[in-house]
A = this chain, B = another copy of it.
């Protein structure tokens, strides 16, 4: 009974996500969906990313949380439109939420849409939001075995960002092993190890994003 309902919910979500994907294509919108545990650094990554964009770049952010609009407040300081989606208990964003908030914010392409999902390595991985890429963040404080323990999201993500590398000297964490574990789940997954705090390899992440932009939406003005 419960599984049948879940299946129906997911298939309805897939239908709405397909419509979003068509809309993103037609309007030249590059949409990426950031997924991680709570506290892996999604908001910090977005803060530094927005700070790196020229002010006339067409960018919006939709950020999901169970409660509070803390993240939207942090992100709004960079001058781009940001909207908080408070799910009120739901453990992930779904395509209907994205569609509604995009319509309310009145975003038109060409441009870049960042989606910061609810902090959760499990539930968000099943919900297609029409994005061009899912990006999974894992911080160096979380343990190298997480790709094996949460295979769903590592299987679906195009890119794994290993975050908080400035903490590597203070923790027992082997980046090569984390990468190897992710490749066991998804051999083609791309991998960048960064620190938003120290700036280490941050340009590599911006470059990755730019390559994706060039591929998906060459109409958008380059951001860096």
Contact = CB atoms under 8 A, between A and B. Distances in A.
Q: How many copies does the complex hold?
A: 2
Interface in A133-187: 139, 141-143, 145-146, 148-152, 164, 166-167, 170-171
Nearest to A141: B141
Interface string A61-72: 000011110100
Interface residues of A, number: 37
Interface in A114-137: 118-123
Contact of A68 (B9, B122, B149): B149
Contacts of A119: 37, 121, 149-150
Interface of A is mostly: loop
Contacts of A146: 38-39
Contact of A70 (B89, B141, B148): B148
B141 A167 contact: yes
B123 A141 contact: no
